[in-house]
Amino acid sequence: MKAAISELSTLKNRGFLRSIDALAPVSWNDTRWTSTFHALNRYVTLHPMLRDNQNTPMEVHSKLLSSEEFEQLKALQERLNILYSTSEYLQSEKCDLAHARLLLDKIVERFRFVAGVEEKIGPEGA
């Protein structure tokens, strides 16, 4: 995904995106998870347009995710949407410490069985 976004960021390929009325790619800052989240959302929007357009430059088309990878990315996007909305709420004025604790407990419960998470969260986590 990152390779496709990088390729789409070139001047030539941004021009191609404008010609199909598509949005520009969003780049990300590796230290900010929200920028990766927004880049992923934009890629999910752009991918079908790029995959189905016969004028998509070969250097872009060759870096697009396969159908299977794209389905996995969409599943990840659904999970990240939950975490993003939680993050937004935790930063809002409406959130107090009691709500934050309840919300975070629910997040831990919901994502407990995601690969690798079990060892890292909870009272015994690293």
Query: pLDDT, tens digit, for every residue of 106-124?
Result: 988 887 766 555 555 555 5
Provide the pLDDT for residue 20: 80
Q: Are 17 and 24 in contact (CB under 8 A)?
A: yes
pLDDT attached to residue 3: 83
Residue ranges in the chain whose pLDDT is less than 70: 22, 113-126
Give yes or no: residues 37 and 14 share one domain: yes
Residue 69 pLDDT = 94
Same structural domain, 122 and 78 = no
Q: What is the pTM of this model?
A: 0.72
Do the beta carbons of residue 73 and residue 43 sit within 8 Å? yes
For residues 8 and 25, membership in a common domain is answered with yes
Q: Are 84 and 24 part of one and the same domain?
A: yes
Cβ contact 119:113 at 8 Å? no
Instruction: State the alpha helices, DSSP H only, in the chain.
Output: 2-8, 11-19, 33-52, 58-61, 67-90, 97-111
Domain count for the chain: 2
- Token pair of 53 as six digits: 């357009």
The radius of gyration computed from the CA coordinates of the chain, to the nearest angstrom, equals: 18
Mean pLDDT, the chain, whole residue set = 83
106 in the same domain as 67: no
Segments forming the whole domain that contains residue 62? 2-94
What pLDDT is recorded for position 5? 79
